[in-house]
Amino acid sequence: MNDDYVVQQKKTIQQMKDSIHQGQSKSSIVEMQSDYENDDQTCLTSVAFT
C-alpha cells in the first residue's frame, strides 16, 4: 500500500476525531445496505473510536 495513502488516511481519521471532541462533527450514521455483497456503493462503512 502506498505510504502517502496511509498517511492521508491517518490524517483524515485524526481530523474526524478532533471534530467530534470539539462538538463539530460533520459525520453521520446511515443504515447498512441489506444486500451489501451486491451494493455498488461500497465505501467506508464504519469507524470506531475507543
Distant-in-sequence, close-in-space partners of 1: CB < 8 Å, separation ≥ 6: none
Does 50 score more than 70 pLDDT?
Answer: no
Cα 15 from Cα 8, distance rounded (Å): 11
Does 8 score more than 70 pLDDT?
Answer: yes
* pLDDT for 22: 92
Between 12 and 39, the higher pLDDT residue: 12
- pLDDT, tens digit (0-9, with 9 covering 90-100), for 22-46: 988 777 777 777 887 787 776 655 6
